[in-house]
Structure 1
Amino acid sequence: MVRTRSRRPRERLSRLLAVASAALLTIGGLVASTTTAEAADGELAVNGGFEAGLAGWSCSAGSGAAVASPVHGGTSALKATPAGGDNAKCSQTVTVQPNSAYTLSGWVQGGYVYLGASGTGTTDVSTWTPSASGWQKLSTTFRTGASTTSVTVYTHGWYGTAAYHADDISLFGPGGGPVQIPAAPTGLAAGSPTSTSVPLNWNAVAGATGYHVYQGATKVLSVSGPSATVTGLAPSTPYSFQVTAANSAGESPKSAAVSATTTSGGGGNPGGGLPAHALVGYLHTSFANGSGYTRMADVPESWDVINLAFGEPTSVTSGDIRFSLCPVTECPNVESAAEFKAAIKAKQAAGKKVLISIGGQNGQVQLASTGARDAFVSSVSKIIDEYGLDGLDIDFEGHSLSLNNGDTDFRSPTTPVVVHLIQAVKTLKAKYGSGFVLTMAPETFFVQLGYQFYGSGPWGGQDPRAGSYLPVIHALRDDLTLLHVQHYNSGPIMGLDNQYHTMGNADFHISMADMMLTGFPVAGNQSRFFPPLRPEQMAIGMPASTQAGNGHTAPAEVTRTLDCLTKKANCGSYQTHGTWPALRGLMTWSINWDRYNQWEFSRNFDAYRWS
């Protein structure tokens, strides 16, 4: 969160984001050196020259056709025409050998043409050209994983652009045997149910390209990764679930069944008591900036969760957190401590939640030792008790989670600052019980960039902080009331459509939220699949005004974001993987900046609040 007293500029993080994004684009366009073909290597793509029409190929939304001109070789080529909601993806699944090297190439013509391979079991690859007025060759290489027996090769264009052409698509490498129907999934388990949903996860199955979830005898979901959340359930009701694995050869037998009973209601989230759809805001209480100081008693009823910004450390590594009201020399209208505490009680009596937020742009916290961890628990408890607060907001930014030990699996972190933070928060949760409200406000760099990079990762050389919040979110997902990722002060981030999205518009918010609500392979590895969060745990973070941070979103785009995510309406170019009417709501930086902007953000949300 951006402040102005003793500020450190955000340019460094912005540069890191730009470098990471540019690096990935560059990597996607590199032609890797050709490996020496072994005796068993051969051409694996079927009908790569489209001489047999579209035989062997499947094109989304009927977007593809074989044409006689222009062609690169032979007498036919592919012509595929994107639409506003479709990128004209044409693909085929090819059998391959595990632990083997492959070269994918093809000739393309047109604007924004992509060639890639997915399901490699290692790092999925793609290459592209933004413009090819004549035939241009695209090429990339990849290596399959230890259990990979099939990959999907594809071409696609860009939403709403002109048609593209492709010809002579080639996948060269060791051939595989016939694709086998995958084995039944194992390890099916149910997470913590809510009154209307049950999260499920299971072990990934070799050779599977997707999974089907059954509720009793009825197929209710189809997903690409080894986790899903079944929604639309009745409260206080037992359910039984099974899962199958599928690929081009067919569907496996069903897994062993798992049973779960939904809760009785009341929102179903840890630290309940929030309305079904809530507005979260940060209140500048310990400092002043251009937005002006707002007294607690003057915060409008619109705000359901008020995060006090900020509790700050006495030093980066001490773990000792202190909180005090803005000094009168900086904030002439600041209330007294007694008035502040009385106003908090009044808000709580009206059903509002008031939390202490730790961190912010300048408040770097590194719990690198057990001593720092224990000091954090003790000092945060003291603040909560003194002011009678409802819980804690973790707003660690910058270098707070940067001391990475080379962890590559978010499920088993060993980095001390990560492990100690998880332990500290669990200790606080245990101390205050089920009513403890826990929220987090990481930046997109530390969450969604884990889709591309995480830890040392397969790419090498990237900022080790990329995706570093993922193990914290995952370890605390059953304790987490709300995750409100900051969808601002960010560079372009890749969504699940493998396209880059830029902040400040509905598509960015929709694609970033869809990633957290659908789940995603971390650093492109399906075996490290980050399970989706429940929609009632999700709020979307936006700046309240143009002065509050880069990425301000106009009210009409905010409305379009909520329409798409909760109703699957008004979605634009990005198509979500689901519909989430239980989405909790919005977060903004900040209440003060919203007041400065004549309450535009909160008034728009109040007018929208959906049933």
Structure 2
Amino acid sequence: MAPPPSGRFRPLSPARPRRLRGRGPRLRAAAAVFALAASAALTVPAAAAPAPHRAADAPRAVAGASGSAALPEHALVGYLHTSFANGSGYTRLADVPDDWDIIDLAFGEPTSATSGDIRFGLCPQSECPDVESEEEFKAAVAEKQAQGKKVLLSIGGQNGQVRLTTTQARDTFVSSVSSIIDKYGLDGLDIDFEGHSLSLDADDTDFRNPTTPVIVNLISAIESLKAKYGDDFTLTMAPETFFVQLGHQRYGPGPNGGDARAGAYLPVIHALRDDLTLLHVQDYNSGPIMGLDGQYHQMGSADFHIAMTDMLLAGFPVAGDADNVFPALPPEKVAIGMPATSQAGNGYVPPGEVNTALDCLTKGSDCGSYQPHGTWPALRGLMAWSVNWDRFNDWEFSKNFTAYFG
């Protein structure tokens, strides 16, 4: 039997959707609601699904805020394994090709789940023999910025569970993140909270007015960082579909005691939409998700990327309530998250399928069975896990992106 991939993920069993992430083939917590969604697909008729909410009906945030205007018209985002190594090999920041416009340094992690104290450092030489010195790394950050690139601290990943349960943890988060940004001269922050970092209390049912401490404190912390660093502060988020699009079907525990994490990113995205530079949901390692057509969509095809992205760009009813709509995001603030290779994660699609999804969403052509609720030529671009895995695969992902957008 071939060994499991030594990347961020290991293949999932189709019968039991699970999600994995981190520095190697490590198991993360099971997403039980996905299993419920998969079984519900067999029994819930499409007619029972909420009617699609069209883009014209949803309020739109102002595009170009929070550094978006400083990005190229179409941007490529990639995670760089900075603090660890795995089967993809270590890549120095200075060696990242110019194709990558935003480089997310993976990962900053807390000293404990509830401390709010974030730490970040370069990969130990014993693990990464080719690691650069801190001075070389700082010089590489400055050089990338001189080339017009953004270099961000990404916080979270599989191992970096962050629960800001108290205002003290919130304040510690702000101060520790600020120290890292200042030390390396970074452009901003990527929020990559996974696992049990975000969840909703049972009585927290309105994404516009959250009351759960871990949600409220995270929003407040990011607002403080934004206020400290000003309009040039770059803010990106990389939630999983479980925390965003699944909210169309279920939001938090609900009356039937569902998973408290379902849709839990929605209040964070909504509260910070004016400060947000880019949202790139991970369209991989996902269970089946109901789209605006009332059908369940499976990862690993252009159809999945089209349906999931359409939900962000058209807006969608939360928990099936047509009167409670998560408003559309402007296309300039949206990118599609994909694995760079089949070794990097479940849900990989080859370049042809990537281009089919882009053709449909940006040109309205070759859409297949799913018809999106608009055409968005200004869709910002793509995100990949990861730069390292793309290098491992002879830069297939980034070469295709550059060829497509010229």
> Given the two structures, how large is their TM-score scaled by the length of structure 1?
0.61
Q: 1:571, 1:4 → 2: CA distance?
A: 33
1:57 aligned partner:
none
Name whichever of 582-591 and 271-280 sits farther off.
271-280
1:409 aligned partner:
206
1:323 aligned partner:
120
Which residue, out of 2, 5, 9, partners 2:27? 9
- Report deviation, 1:25: 3.1
Question: Residue 373 of structure 1: SS of its match in structure 2?
Answer: helix
1:557 aligned partner:
353
- Structure 2 residue 265 is matched with structure 1 residue 469: yes
Question: Residue 358 of structure 1: SS of its match in structure 2?
Answer: strand
Cα 1:600–1:6 change in 2 (3 A) is closer
| Rg comparison, structure with higher value | 1
Question: Residue 197 of structure 2: SS of its match in structure 1?
Answer: helix
Q: 1:442, 1:511 → 2: CA distance?
A: 16
Q: Residue type matched to 2:303 in 1?
A: D
Q: Residue type matched to 1:24 in 2?
A: A
Q: Can you give the 5+ residue segments of structure 1 that lack an aligned partner in the other structure?
A: 29-113, 119-123, 125-151, 153-208, 211-222, 231-261
CA contact (8 A) 1:225 1:520 kept: no
- Report deviation, 1:570: 1.2
Which residue, out of 340, 344, 356, partners 1:548? 344
- Report deviation, 1:23: 4.6
Q: 1:322, 1:550 → 2: CA distance?
A: 29
Identity of matched residues, % = 67
Whichever structure has more strand as a proportion of its residues is: 1
1:116 aligned partner:
47
2:384 aligned partner:
588
- Structure 2 residue 387 is matched with structure 1 residue 370: no
CA contact (8 A) 2:33 2:262 kept: no
Cα 1:546–1:227 change in 2 (3 A) is same
> Deviation per CA, 1:101-156, whole angstroms, max 9, x where unpaired?
xxxxxxxxxxxxx47357xxxxx5xxxxxxxxxxxxxxxxxxxxxxxxxxx9xxxx
Q: 2:33, 2:254 → 1: CA distance?
A: 17
CA contact (8 A) 2:76 2:102 kept: yes
Q: Residue type matched to 2:403 in 1?
A: A
Question: Residue 294 of structure 1: SS of its match in structure 2?
Answer: coil
Q: 2:357, 2:329 → 1: CA distance?
A: 18
Question: Residue 346 of structure 2: SS of its match in structure 1?
Answer: coil
Alignment of 1:78-89 (within 5 A): none
Question: Residue 587 of structure 1: SS of its match in structure 2?
Answer: strand
Which residue, out of 79, 90, 109, partners 1:282? 79
Question: Residue 116 of structure 1: SS of its match in structure 2?
Answer: helix
1:433 aligned partner:
230
Question: Residue 135 of structure 2: SS of its match in structure 1?
Answer: helix
1:313 aligned partner:
110
Q: Residue type matched to 1:399 in 2?
A: H
- Structure 2 residue 44 is matched with structure 1 residue 25: no
Which residue, out of 301, 315, 326, partners 1:519? 315
Q: Which has the higher contact order (CA 8 A, sep 6+)?
A: 2
Cα 1:115–1:568 change in 2 (3 A) is closer
2:329 aligned partner:
533
Alignment of 1:160-179 (within 5 A): none
Q: 1:430, 1:296 → 2: CA distance?
A: 28
Question: Residue 328 of structure 1: SS of its match in structure 2?
Answer: coil
- Report deviation, 1:268: 1.9
Cα 1:469–1:115 change in 2 (3 A) is closer
| RMSD between aligned residues | 2.0
- Structure 2 residue 94 is matched with structure 1 residue 297: yes
Q: What is the aligned length?
A: 387
CA contact (8 A) 2:237 2:280 kept: yes
Q: Residue type matched to 1:116 in 2?
A: A
Cα 1:496–1:331 change in 2 (3 A) is same
- Structure 2 residue 70 is matched with structure 1 residue 273: yes
- Report deviation, 1:409: 1.1
CA contact (8 A) 1:270 1:434 kept: yes
Question: Residue 41 of structure 2: SS of its match in structure 1?
Answer: helix
Q: Can you give the 5+ residue segments of structure 2 that lack an aligned partner in the other structure?
A: 1-7, 10-20
1:601 aligned partner:
397
Q: Residue type matched to 1:20 in 2?
A: L
Cα 1:6–1:500 change in 2 (3 A) is closer
Q: 2:65, 2:279 → 1: CA distance?
A: 12
Question: Residue 401 of structure 1: SS of its match in structure 2?
Answer: coil
CA contact (8 A) 1:488 1:504 kept: yes
- Structure 2 residue 319 is matched with structure 1 residue 488: no
Which residue, out of 133, 152, 158, partners 1:355? 152
> Deviation per CA, 1:468-525, whole angstroms, max 9, x where unpaired?
0000000000000000000001011110001111111100000000000000110011
Alignment of 1:158-197 (within 5 A): none
Q: 1:225, 1:561 → 2: CA distance?
A: 22
Q: 1:598, 1:497 → 2: CA distance?
A: 37
Whichever structure has more helix as a proportion of its residues is: 2
Q: 1:293, 1:17 → 2: CA distance?
A: 35
1:504 aligned partner:
300
- Report deviation, 1:344: 0.6
- Report deviation, 1:26: 5.8
Which residue, out of 355, 370, 373, partners 1:574? 370
Q: 1:6, 1:520 → 2: CA distance?
A: 35
> Given the two structures, how large is their TM-score scaled by the length of structure 2?
0.91
Q: Residue type matched to 1:21 in 2?
A: A
2:58 aligned partner:
227
Question: Residue 348 of structure 1: SS of its match in structure 2?
Answer: helix
Q: 1:582, 1:269 → 2: CA distance?
A: 15
Cα 1:289–1:426 change in 2 (3 A) is same
Q: 2:345, 2:60 → 1: CA distance?
A: 33
Q: 1:475, 1:115 → 2: CA distance?
A: 31
2:253 aligned partner:
456
> Deviation per CA, 1:153-195, whole angstroms, max 9, x where unpaired?
xxxxxxxxxxxxxxxxxxxxxxxxxxxxxxxxxxxxxxxxxxx
CA contact (8 A) 1:538 1:584 kept: yes
2:3 aligned partner:
none
